[in-house]
A and B are shown apart, each in its own frame.
Chain A
């Protein structure tokens, strides 16, 4: 069954290199995608300390699976998020026990690798609201939340703003979209 995949989820050259054992490629991918893995765990109510452990464990398992040639494709961040959420759920089911050994990456839990917290109508409304924002603010926001996902510093450099201003914009847009998502509750 098909699952909904991230825009970035076609295997990149870096992902292919990582899958065939290139450790520097792994390092680059972890640096780029670990934030999304962490957010997915935090959004499930996992506390930061545990989330860091689980994210780390998820990456380690992916590397181990790749080394054992058990990964047909490596598409990030979705695969790492699914692995991390699987660990979180295993942990929740069996507190204090080791999770079972994983020979394969678990299947998706539902259609998205990240649990949908808001229904599609709300997301669509928020999307429409986003379109109404000033083009500059929207561009900054889309670079930060789109694919490939860029850091604040990278976006600041590309749009010629300070990092501080980029963060202000993020908070302003977040405020608007938060209101949009929450008024629909």
Chain B
């Protein structure tokens, strides 16, 4: 029985990835049985997707202004976007942080099951005896956060 709906702030914190695991599970449990709050979550996620587009849009505009500076004939920002020109110029900013490789081999038949379970829990990809990769299940890190 749900007595109280989620407040918008907590849903926002969920989509930006700022909630701790317990709070994230609470949000997930609530939206699973409450349509209005599920709708709110969908809207917040849609906004989050749009915000990535807003930042991406900046890069389209800056490509065009750069091109104007060098006198090239350019399409409008919209046309550039439509043509997929984002590809061309958007390499800016910093290199990604150092990789943290997480891979565990669980090829020993006698211990594979336990090893794979632990890998799931630890959030690492495990390679089982059949050499197939097993992707960690993300419910060990609730929420959508980075």
Question: Per-position contact with B for A1-34: 1 when CB-CB < 8 Å, else 0?
Answer: 0111111111000100000000111111011101
**Residues of B contacting A158 in the complex (Cβ-Cβ under 8 angstroms):** 94
Residues of chain A lying within 8 A (CB to CB) of residue B124: 27
Q: Is A82 an interface residue (CB 8 A)?
A: no
B50 contacts A123, C-beta separation under 8 Å: yes
Summarize B's interface: helix, strand, loop or mixed: helix
Quick check: is B21 within 8 A (CB to CB) of the other chain? no
Which residues in window 113-127 of B have CB below 8 A to A?
124-125, 127
Of the candidates A8, A39, A148, the one having the most CB atoms from chain B within 10 angstroms of its own CB is A39
- CA–CA, A56 and B22, complex, Å: 21
Give the total of B residues in contact with A, Cβ under 8 Å.
62
Q: How far is the CA of A112 from the CA of B52 in the complex (A)?
A: 12
Q: Is the Cβ of B50 less than 8 Å from the Cβ of A5?
A: no
- In chain B between 65 and 84, which residues have their CB closer than 8 angstroms to a CB of chain A? 77-78, 81-84
B90 CB, min distance to chain A CBs, angstroms: 3
Point out the residues of chain B lying under 8 angstroms from A102, CB to CB: none
Shortest CB-to-CB span from A14 to chain B, Å, is: 7
26 CB < 8 A contacts A-B: A3-B84, A7-B91, A27-B101, A27-B125, A31-B100, A39-B45, A42-B15, A43-B49, A45-B42, A47-B38, A48-B27, A48-B28, A49-B28, A52-B139, A112-B53, A114-B52, A116-B50, A116-B53, A117-B46, A120-B81, A123-B57, A145-B52, A146-B55, A152-B145, A154-B97, A178-B47
Beyond the given pairs A63-B135, A130-B55, A158-B94, 7 more chain A to chain B contacts, judged by CB atoms under 8 angstroms and listed by A's residue number, are A14-B99, A24-B102, A28-B99, A48-B27, A123-B50, A126-B50, A126-B51
Q: Which A residues fall within an 8 A CB radius of B?
A: 2-10, 14, 23-28, 30-32, 34-36, 38-40, 42-45, 47-49, 52, 55-56, 59-60, 63, 111-112, 114-118, 120, 123-124, 126-127, 130-131, 141-143, 145-154, 158, 167, 170-171, 174, 177-178, 181
